[in-house]
Structure 1
Amino acid sequence: MDRISTLLASLMIVAAAATLPAPAAAKAGNIVLVHGMNMDGGAWRGVYDRLTADKYRVTVVQLPMTSIQDDIAATRRAIDAQDGPVVLVGHSYGGMVISQAGTEPQVRALVYVAAFQPEIGESLGFLNASIPGKLPADALTVFKDGFYLVKPDAWIADVANGLPEAEARYTAMFQAPANTAIFGYKAEAAAWHNVPSWAAIATEDRTIAPELQRRMSKRSGAKVVEIHGGHLLPMSHPSEVTSVIEDAAASVK
């Protein structure tokens, strides 16, 4: 092949390459989801499906709820299993957990979904008492070993409000017992001091008062999105919750 033919062939290759689609922009691809008290990882299914469809690598933590130390350890194991930066997401009590486990260096963003955002030294019991929700004082069944469940009627009315009746009743009956000692644990870390945070506030929440969610979010400097729904936002509003998480992921460099 002479020099002119070689040059023409090279130009054709360059032109063909220019017509190829550009590679997709890189994302902070690792999302770790932490469920709330008396729940399990299945509560995240709608959010998980949406995130994985958008090509995120999603890990769902299963908390033992035997103690907060055990729950923090389970979350840290999930974080340590990731390759690269992590967006750490907590629903409800999961907010306490991610505020402790979120000090791991690969955690680059925190997302609180209808969740507690404790300051160092604060407990769930303290925060609940500061601005009480609507859950009745007698809503819990406490067992001899210190574990508890929420009575089904109270769960349906005050935890699962906003879900279809059949689904609300199902969530009431699939509850996982949790150790009451968790309520007295005083936060030893508040990762939101050093990690950018987002908050999805449930405006109809009867478990964690919306006013408390707003107050904690203002203190943490979280980017706030208000969602018209009850406490179980990951189940009732998975698309909106997914959008908040993806906003956080897009911010990670």
Structure 2
Amino acid sequence: MRNWLLTILSVTFSFSVTVEAAPTPKAPGDKTVVLVHGAFADGTGTWDKVIPMLQAAGLKVIAVQNPLTTLAGDVAATQRALARAEGPVILVGHSWGGAVITEAGNDPKVAALVYVAAFAPNDGQSILDITKPYPAAPGFGELVFDDEGFATLTTTGMTNFFAQDLPIPQSSLMYATQAPTAGALFSEKITTAAWKNKPTWYVVAENDYMIQPDLQRALATQMKAHTSSYPSGHVISQSKPQETADAIISAANSVVMPPPPELHLLQ
């Protein structure tokens, strides 16, 4: 009888002091940088120096590999990266990638935009539209088109105009790995420019032979972007990786994270 009573008291006591914690809500995801490369390039050759710097700053990073066939195709590739991203996204575009982020940046996950020597059309504008008032960039004179309308840069174009301030072995590698780019991309028009509603940064390449520096400055002014400017050729993410990373980190630091979720205990 005594043993039976002790057992009942023990079970009762154990239930009285048990507190069951609710499943821990997921904390807000870390900030993620999504990097979008431009024409005649890929995600590695554009961003490989910048990515470790961003990761060292505590940011998650995803680099998009654009098909460079249509604007819609590149936007779709970027949207797939956005779907994978955790937390608020800092969306970064280089060169043609600026047009891509201008369209894809309307995604609600995107908290800030960073243009790196990049095109930034307005609503209903194409690359051809925004470049008309400016002298032709000399690098575009070194394009070779195949029978399907895809363009690549000549060796001279890559070495002297696209990546003129990089070591020859690096520009030669970029030439060998460049992605053929559909010429029709440059006439495709943006639907809604995300920079109208998102905080924006712009990194100007002052010695750019692919996008006129005056055009870059005009675009930055139009967007009211936080602007930095450096003596660099078109691939400023390679020639000035720390400065490029600093602009992206500055944009990331401006993004306010939501407060952590509260934990509730079930009594």
Q: TM-score range by the shorter chain?
A: 0.7 to 0.9
- Secondary structure of 2:49's match? helix
Q: Does 1:108 align with 2:111?
A: yes
Q: Does 1:34 align with 2:36?
A: yes
- Secondary structure of 1:212's match? helix
Query: Corresponding residue for 1:77?
Result: 80
Query: Corresponding residue for 1:162?
Result: 165
Distance 2:136 2:169 in 1: 24
Task: State the percentage of identical aligned residues.
Answer: 38
After superposing on structure 2, the runs of 4+ consecutive aligned residues of structure 1 that deviate more than 4 Å are none
Distance 1:44 1:116 in 2: 17
Q: Does 1:172 align with 2:175?
A: yes
- Secondary structure of 1:243's match? helix
Distance 2:41 2:175 in 1: 9
Distance 1:228 1:128 in 2: 21
User: Could you state the TM-score of these two structures normalised by the residue count of structure 2?
Assistant: 0.82
Distance 1:213 1:225 in 2: 11
Cα 1:135–1:27 change in 2 (3 A) is farther
Paired letter, 1:33: L
- From 118, 121, 124, give the equivalent of 2:124: 121
Q: Does 1:185 align with 2:195?
A: no
Q: Which moved more, 1:153-162 or 1:92-101?
A: 153-162
Q: Which has the larger radius of gyration?
A: 2
- Secondary structure of 2:208's match? coil
* C-alpha contact (below 8 Å) 1:68/1:182 kept by paired residues: yes
Unmatched 5+ stretches in structure 2: 1-27, 257-267
Deviation at 1:170, TM superposition (A): 2.0
Distance 2:61 2:141 in 1: 37
Distance 2:29 2:224 in 1: 23
Instruction: Describe how 1:204-243 pairs up with structure 2 within 5 A.
Output: 204-243=207-246
* C-alpha contact (below 8 Å) 1:111/1:248 kept by paired residues: yes
Distance 2:204 2:153 in 1: 22
Paired letter, 1:29: K
Query: Corresponding residue for 1:45?
Result: 48
Render the CA deviation track for 1:185-219: whole Å, top value 9, x for unaligned: 01112100000000000011111011000001100
Deviation at 1:137, TM superposition (A): 5.5
Give the RMSD, CA atoms, in angstroms. Answer: 1.5
Q: Does 1:65 align with 2:82?
A: no
Deviation at 1:249, TM superposition (A): 0.3
Query: Corresponding residue for 1:7?
Result: none
Deviation at 1:153, TM superposition (A): 0.6
Query: Corresponding residue for 2:146?
Result: 143
Deviation at 1:130, TM superposition (A): 2.2
Aligned residues: 228
Distance 1:137 1:204 in 2: 15
Cα 1:250–1:28 change in 2 (3 A) is farther
- Secondary structure of 1:111's match? strand
